[in-house]
Structure 1
């Protein structure tokens, strides 16, 4: 039985895709953990002490040592618990997995944010096209059932934002970004990934996300 020091804790938030990444990875590894759910806009002092730089979720605590930033945490999980690896063993493929995961955060999601929160119609249309262009890169990169091949890997977990979160975002903001017609491979991947038993168990209720993003819309643009 693990001592308190060896206990794995995840400081996360219901509805956070970044927290969900960490929980999916731990579940795939078969690692037991305790989840400490934070409240949006009212983070605990404990969380802030564990992550004084960014003051946000997720934070993984193991052996009394906190680690923040979801992609960094995923790598740490893979290196600490060797079973069911999520990163490839080949150095080049590992580098590519890191590249595409960073691409999802730095390019795809930034384009989605701009499409959501831009007032100017022309700028919004430009952001929508940039989002679709980014998704086309992922469509072309997807060669197998998952980005990790026949099994879920690092990029798949990073892309949970696309597989599950993008739909309620589209609905709340009145956007059309990710369709089965334009991105058939990526769409089929999203269905496979979301319906995987481990992933499905960790996904939040869609209605929670829809309510949250509708609130963000009204906060930014005013009531519909």
Structure 2
């Protein structure tokens, strides 16, 4: 019998994308919550290079970095595929996954920025969202079609960003449909998927987490 474990942190979008992928593929796993302020020996042993969550442990063998883990899940359990069958479409999906991961620090910069620097950071965040709105999303419910895939799981940090906006008063306003209508519609469709909706972190708890975390940067 296969043994699958996930070391994660409840408030991390990177942990959630791995959890969602496994659940969408109906892969049983054990979830292990870690304390990022007092990291466990299991985490340090499983990811000695970066010492970060998430880590997938499959039959005793650890895999680190969430995007790498998603690829591993897709290759190891090809049932209920989360990448397109067509090679070109898979390449396009990987392009956007890398784009989103590479631009992730832009949004965290807005979260960390002092008040006088926030306007610049927010503008950079808006530019990234505009790129996704104009070039990544079509007219389907999800990226690349009407079935949820890896790009959707990676972009799910938008939920965290919405909560972050509300928690600390950022003015990206993704919640307002007129700013980014395609992304807004996508976010609504994404959250309606039962497997996603039932495995989102509690919004109030996440807001408290962001407010607490913000104190370390101001």
Match 2:4 to one of 5, 8, 25: 8
Structure with bigger RCO (C-alpha 8 Å, 6+ apart):
2
User: Which residue matches 2:107?
Assistant: 112
Do 1:9 and 1:62's aligned partners in 2 also have CA atoms closer than 8 Å?
A: yes
User: Which residue matches 1:203?
Assistant: 200
- Unpaired stretches in structure 2, ≥5 consecutive residues: none
Q: TM-score, normalised by structure 1?
A: 0.92
User: Which residue matches 1:127?
Assistant: 121
Q: TM-score, normalised by structure 2?
A: 0.94
SS of structure 1 residue aligned to 2:49: coil
SS of structure 1 residue aligned to 2:31: strand
Distance in 2 separating the partners of 1:113 and 1:28: 28
Match 1:181 to one of 173, 178, 181: 178
The CA RMSD over aligned residues, in Å, is 1.2
Q: How far did 1:129 drift?
A: 1.2
1:54 and 2:69 correspond: no
Tell me how many residue pairs correspond in the alignment.
214
Q: How far did 1:74 drift?
A: 0.4
User: Which residue matches 1:149?
Assistant: 145
- Unpaired stretches in structure 1, ≥5 consecutive residues: none
SS of structure 1 residue aligned to 2:215: helix
User: Which residue matches 2:62?
Assistant: 66
Q: Deviations over 1:21-58 (max 9, x none)?
A: 00100011011111011113111101110000111110
